[in-house]
């Protein structure tokens, strides 16, 4: 009898391990899926159906502390308060809700997500230890959902993959200069330089021409006002003494 | 001799025609550059804040070069018809000077267009948009210009809303990342100027925020400007080159 009782007692305290793993929202594609202090998870729909009486909590933990998280931790205590995260608290519990908010039906057109880190008003308020405050650093973090009936954990999902948030760089790292010059600018510069050089050479040749006077005779044309018509006398106009005889 | 006179007349005709075209192009260049200088587009404050106003220097040079081209083309026509060596020599030397100035203007405009990279505007936007203690009035103007730009063109940032996530900025120092992943102007706004769905905008749901960047809108007018000054000037200079070569040949054949 006693061994049977001993076997039964652990089963009564056993936490159901559900097959669901929390994940960042991939559908629809969101521009703010991960920011510097928030991230967006899919809601755990059709997961906790058998636990209609339970409160479903989200546990957010540092990647290094995920494996050591104790499911018997109670939410709303300083040991799981957001305001003490990440030091000394390595995992906090937030986003308390019941199954009503995670119905199984999937309404088309509605976006069903959880934004972790959206409440900024209570981030410093120690009277709200379950605040869904902005995450203090880039992480990495891991999350899981935990169903508590009263203060007894009854079901949990698996831990998510590590989530690393964005880290902002300084604008000084932006390079403002182009690596090279565009083809257009190079084309303009070279072509115009060549044309200008040819013209200068032509001018120099002209001036050399002018001062040397050497080629002024061959195949030139005259200026209009210097055209003269030389009149040739084609007929003799003098008297022929012999014709008078 | 008759054939020689025909060649002369053809050459004279060509040179006169060339000079007429140069004169008309000079007037067109002047008019275009006056338009650019007197009618700065809405993005002028952003260009001014980059402290690089070479494009306006090029336009100013273009005005005077255009007038010079017109005057010199008249001189050239007179010189060709009268076949006067002196006039044509003066014409050639002055045209070469004008050529040099216009060359400088074209190259400056083309180089300046190259220097307006997305990185330049991105850095300026991150450092000055919604700066809490504006150093001078130009920071306020930059903020105002960006707000209008994002509102009217339904765009966000230079390359996209991720600009505000990837880099720290004056905006980020004033507004927390969780409440303002990007400025409110990036959200789709209703008639009263409020976001139609603030949560949707913060999440980044397409349809509630503007996901494309403003760089294309910025570079459009700037490129038109640069094309107008640089490439039109280049075309005029190519034509002028041909006319000048013809004039030099004509000059060398005039009997002194």
CATH of the domain at B189: 1.10.1450
Please indicate, yes or no, if residue B63 is contained in any of the structural domains.
Answer: yes
Report pLDDT for B242.
95
Please give the average per-residue pLDDT across A70-96, as a whole number: 86
Report pLDDT for B240.
95
Name the DSSP letter for residue A100. Answer: G
Residues B151 and B204 in one domain: yes
Lowest-confidence range among A116-125, A139-148, A216-225? A216-225
- Look at the block and give the residue holding tokens 């050479």: A201
Whether residue A196 and residue B100 make contact (CB cut-off 8 A), yes or no, is yes
Residues B28 and B106 in one domain: yes
CB–CB contacts below 8 A, A to B? 168
Whether residue A120 and residue B179 make contact (CB cut-off 8 A), yes or no, is yes
Range of the domain at A89: 15-169
- Given a cut of 50, whether residue A9 has pLDDT beyond it is no
pLDDT band at A195 (very low <50, low <70, confident <90, very high): very high
Structure tokens at B185: 């102007």
Q: At what angle do helices B2-38 and B232-253 cross, to 10 degrees?
A: 150
* Min Cα–Cα distance to chain A from B39, Å: 25
Report the residue of chain A nearest B187, measured CA to CA: A31
Distance CA A76, CA A95 (A): 11
Residues B188 and B240 in one domain: no
Residues B175 and B235 in one domain: no
DSSP B211-256: -S-SHHHHHHHHHHHHIIIIIHHHHHHHHHHHHHHHHHHHHHHB--
Determine contact, residues B71/B56, Cβ cutoff 8 Å.
no
Residues B235 and B183 in one domain: no
What SS3 class is residue B31?
helix
Please give the average per-residue pLDDT across A208-222, as a whole number: 61
Residues B1 and B109 in one domain: yes
Please indicate, yes or no, if residue A42 is contained in any of the structural domains.
Answer: yes
Range of the domain at B80: 1-40+51-114+225-253
Please indicate, yes or no, if residue B219 is contained in any of the structural domains.
Answer: no
pLDDT > 90 in chain A, percent: 18
How far from each other are the two terminal CA atoms of chain A, in whole angstroms?
184
Structure tokens at A38: 């928030």
- Given a cut of 60, whether residue A188 has pLDDT beyond it is yes
Please indicate, yes or no, if residue A74 is contained in any of the structural domains.
Answer: yes
Report the residue of chain A nearest B111, measured CA to CA: A185
- Look at the block and give the residue holding tokens 């003490």: A84
Q: At what angle do helices A183-212 and B232-253 cross, to 10 degrees?
A: 10
CATH of the domain at A105: 2.60.40
Residue A152 — left, alpha, or beta (φ > 0 → left; ψ -120 to 50 → alpha)?
beta
Report pLDDT for A39.
92
Please indicate, yes or no, if residue B220 is contained in any of the structural domains.
Answer: no
Report the residue of chain B nearest A41, measured CA to CA: B203
Please indicate, yes or no, if residue A124 is contained in any of the structural domains.
Answer: yes
Report the residue of chain B nearest A174, measured CA to CA: B119
For residue A28, the chain B residues in CB contact (below 8 A) are 205-206
Residues A211, A215, A221, CA angle at the centre, nearest 5°?
A: 110
Interface test with B, best of A138, A192, A210, A228 (most B CBs within 10 A): A192
Distance CA A234, CA A239 (A): 15
pLDDT 10s digit of each residue in chain B, 256 long? 556 778 888 999 999 999 999 999 999 999 988 988 887 776 777 777 777 767 778 888 889 999 999 999 999 999 999 988 899 999 999 999 999 999 998 888 888 888 888 888 898 889 888 877 766 777 788 888 888 889 888 999 999 999 999 999 988 888 888 889 999 999 999 888 889 989 889 998 888 999 899 898 888 887 888 777 888 999 999 999 999 999 999 998 887 5
Structural domain tally of chain A? 1
Determine contact, residues A13/A151, Cβ cutoff 8 Å.
no
pLDDT band at A137 (very low <50, low <70, confident <90, very high): confident
Residues B88 and B187 in one domain: no
Please indicate, yes or no, if residue A125 is contained in any of the structural domains.
Answer: yes
Ranges A7-21, A25-39, A217-231, most confident: A25-39
**Would you call A115 an interface residue with chain B, using a CB distance cutoff of 8 Å?**
yes
Report pLDDT for A80.
86
Residues B82 and B14 in one domain: yes
Whether residue B115 and residue A199 make contact (CB cut-off 8 A), yes or no, is no
Please indicate, yes or no, if residue A233 is contained in any of the structural domains.
Answer: no
Residues B27 and B147 in one domain: no
Residues B31 and B92 in one domain: yes
Question: Cα B156 to the chain's mean position, in Å?
Answer: 24
Residues B230 and B110 in one domain: yes
**Would you call A201 an interface residue with chain B, using a CB distance cutoff of 8 Å?**
no
Structural domain tally of chain B? 2
- Look at the block and give the residue holding tokens 């640069």: B226
């Amino acid at each position: 009898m006693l061994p049977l009782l001993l076997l039964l007692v652990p089963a009564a305290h056993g936490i159901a391990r559900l097959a669901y793993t929390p994940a960042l929202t991939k559908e629809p594609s969101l521009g703010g899926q991960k920011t510097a202090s928030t991230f967006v998870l899919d809601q755990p729909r059709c997961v906790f159906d058998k636990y209609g009486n339970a409160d479903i909590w989200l546990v957010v933990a540092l990647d290094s502390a995920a494996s050591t998280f104790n499911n018997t931790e109670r939410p709303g205590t300083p040991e799981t308060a957001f305001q003490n995260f990440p030091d000394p608290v390595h995992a906090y519990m937030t986003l308390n809700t019941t199954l009503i908010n995670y119905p199984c039906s999937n309404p088309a057109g509605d976006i069903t997500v959880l934004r972790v880190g959206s409440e900024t008003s209570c981030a410093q308020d120690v009277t709200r230890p379950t605040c869904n405050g902005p995450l203090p650093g880039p992480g990495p973090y891991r999350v899981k959902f935990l169903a508590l009936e009263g203060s007894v954990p009854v079901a949990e999902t698996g831990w998510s993959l590590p989530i690393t948030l964005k880290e902002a760089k300084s604008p000084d790292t932006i390079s403002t200069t182009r690596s090279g010059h565009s083809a257009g600018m190079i084309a303009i510069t070279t072509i115009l330089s060549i044309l200008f050089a040819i013209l200068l050479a032509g001018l120099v040749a002209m001036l050399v021409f002018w001062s040397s006077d050497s080629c002024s005779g061959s195949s030139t044309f005259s200026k209009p006002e210097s055209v003269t018509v030389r009149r040739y006398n084609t007929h003799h106009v003098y008297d022929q003494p012999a014709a008078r005889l | 001799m008759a054939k020689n006179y025909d060649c002369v007349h053809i050459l004279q005709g060509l040179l006169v025609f060339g000079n007429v075209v140069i004169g008309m192009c000079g007037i067109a260049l002047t008019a275009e550059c006056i338009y650019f200088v007197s009618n700065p587009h809405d993005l002028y404050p952003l260009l001014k804040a980059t402290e690089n106003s070479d494009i306006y220097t090029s336009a100013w040079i273009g005005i005077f070069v255009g007038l010079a081209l017109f005057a010199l083309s008249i001189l050239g026509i007179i010189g060709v018809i009268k076949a006067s060596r002196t006039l044509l020599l003066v014409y050639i030397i002055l045209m070469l000077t004008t050529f040099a100035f216009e060359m400088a203007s074209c190259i400056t405009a083309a180089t300046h267009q190259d220097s307006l990279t997305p990185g330049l505007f991105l850095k300026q936007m991150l450092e000055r948009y919604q700066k809490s203690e504006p150093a001078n009035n130009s920071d306020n103007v930059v903020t105002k210009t960006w707000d209008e730009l994002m509102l009217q063109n339904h765009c966000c940032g230079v390359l996209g809303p991720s600009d505000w996530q990837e880099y720290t900025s004056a905006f980020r120092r004033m507004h927390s990342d969780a409440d303002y992943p990007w400025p409110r102007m990036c959200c789709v706004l209703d008639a009263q100027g409020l976001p139609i769905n603030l949560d949707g905008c913060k999440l980044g749901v397409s349809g509630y925020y503007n996901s494309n960047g403003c760089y294309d809108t910025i570079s459009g007018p700037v490129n038109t400007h640069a094309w107008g000054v640089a490439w039109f000037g280049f075309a005029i200079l190519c034509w002028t080159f041909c006319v000048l070569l013809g004039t030099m040949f004509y000059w060398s054949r005039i009997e002194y």
